[in-house]
């Protein structure tokens, strides 16, 4: 009997795991997840910060790196590249079996470079070359500086996971950057069938921000807005999927597809339910559909396996959600303002995690030096 994760896969959605750690790899848990139907992994600076600072799994490696004279940045990169590389090797059979559709692991460029195009490109090139595996994505944030970096990297045949997408406007820019990159790759004689990309559209954080503003209006007497709670995030994602279909099943991309180019699949990220009054599989059950990815933290994978509702749902109730978003705007809650704020907060959160992690690595290195 197939697992629910495998059943989701049969509907055209790939389920990835949104976490990574040394213990997950060494314990065999990652292999067990793969055996259960997980076909990819994602990471971010916050995930690595938790993995490295909340355990002693990396202490022996840090001790060896200190002994050979590495500085904190070199230690950080060694630890993360090792984890990403080992995970990619475990997922390589998936990559081969699916002809490069799945089997990927993502490593993010430093979030401190989020507003610097040239340095983002340089670091992405270096990390991709150092990992030396075809089933690795380099994550680049969907900032104004990140968009041209995406085009350049795709044009050089470097796989990119475009992260921190919240708004439909920015999503349009992300898709355009990917297509322009593929066109550049084709014009330069590159193999467009060898480069891959996903567009990571963040979900649950949208509800957190919109619901807060709606609840303030409800508390002030606008009881008619109650049915809009928990609608914004799913509605935003459903509309993004419509934009995806228009672009990647349209005439312009058809010419590239004929040359073997892959579509840039939308990836639903931040899919754990933050509001305990909502179902814990809310951002799984409502967003299943073909040519998509859902990357889930371990607790959401467990919930989906246990009691998720498996059905093609991405285009279900589309009009209902479109009307909900229209009413949200009419209530004075601007989705543009919400998504702009969430992007800035996302970049800051990852930057803070990165700096906290570097500080902790420095502390661990100092402890090693003093015995």
114-135: pLDDT as tens digits: 999 999 999 999 999 999 999 9
Residue 170 has pLDDT above 90, yes or no: yes
Q: Which residue has the tokens 């840039």?
A: 264
Residue 367 has pLDDT above 90, yes or no: no
- The whole-angstrom separation of Cα 125 and Cα 197 is 15
As assigned by CATH, the class of the 4-369 domain is alpha beta
174-225: pLDDT as tens digits: 999 999 999 999 999 999 999 999 999 999 999 999 999 999 999 999 999 9
Active-site residue, from 139, 173, 213, 364: 139
Question: E strand or H helix at 265, and its extent?
Answer: strand 265-269
Question: E strand or H helix at 201, and its extent?
Answer: strand 197-202
Cα distance between the two ends of the chain: 53
309-360: pLDDT as tens digits: 999 999 999 999 999 999 999 999 999 999 999 999 999 999 999 999 999 9
Q: How does residue 42 score in pLDDT terms, banded at 50, 70 and 90?
A: very high
Tell me the domain boundaries of the chain: 4-369
pTM as predicted: 0.96
- Catalytic residue flag (residue 139): yes
268-283: pLDDT as tens digits: 999 999 999 999 999 9
Token output for 81: 């590249």
Q: How does residue 290 score in pLDDT terms, banded at 50, 70 and 90?
A: very high
- The whole-angstrom separation of Cα 248 and Cα 159 is 18
């Amino acid at each position: 009997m197939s697992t629910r994760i495998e059943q989701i896969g049969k509907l055209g959605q790939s389920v990835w795991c949104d976490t990574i750690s040394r213990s997950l790899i060494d314990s065999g848990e990652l292999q067990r997840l793969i055996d259960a139907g997980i076909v990819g992994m994602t990471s971010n600076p916050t995930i690595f910060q938790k993995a490295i600072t909340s355990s002693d799994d990396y202490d022996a490696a840090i001790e060896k790196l200190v002994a050979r004279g590495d500085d904190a940045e070199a230690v950080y990169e060694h630890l993360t590249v090792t984890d990403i590389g080992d995970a990619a090797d475990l997922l390589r059979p998936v990559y081969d079996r699916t002809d490069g559709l799945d089997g990927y692991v993502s490593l993010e460029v430093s979030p401190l470079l989020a507003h610097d195009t040239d340095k983002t490109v340089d670091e992405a090139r270096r990390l991709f070359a150092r990992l030396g595996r075809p089933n690795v994505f380099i994550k680049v944030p969907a900032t104004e500086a990140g968009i041209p970096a995406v085009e350049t990297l795709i044009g050089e045949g470097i796989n990119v996971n475009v992260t921190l997408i919240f708004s439909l406007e920015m999503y349009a820019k992300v898709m355009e950057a990917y297509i322009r990159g593929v066109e550049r790759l084709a014009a330069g004689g590159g193999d467009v069938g060898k480069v891959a990309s996903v567009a990571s559209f963040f979900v649950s954080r949208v509800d957190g921000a919109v619901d807060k503003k709606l609840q303030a209006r409800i508390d002030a007497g606008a009881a008619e807005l109650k049915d809009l709670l928990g609608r914004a995030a799913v509605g935003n994602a459903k509309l993004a999927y419509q934009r995806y279909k228009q672009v990647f099943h349209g005439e312009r991309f058809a010419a590239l597809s004929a040359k073997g180019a892959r579509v840039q699949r939308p990836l639903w990220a931040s899919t754990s339910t933050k509001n305990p009054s909502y179902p814990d599989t809310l951002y799984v059950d409502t967003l299943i559909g073909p040519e998509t990815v859902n990357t889930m933290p371990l607790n959401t994978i467990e919930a989906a396996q246990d009691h998720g509702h498996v059905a093609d749902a991405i285009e279900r109730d589309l009009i209902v959600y479109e009307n909900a978003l229209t009413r949200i705007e009419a209530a004075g809650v601007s989705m543009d303002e919400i998504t702009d704020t969430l992007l800035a907060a996302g970049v800051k959160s990852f930057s803070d995690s990165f700096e906290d992690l570097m500080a902790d690595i420095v502390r661990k290195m100092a402890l090693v030096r003093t015995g």
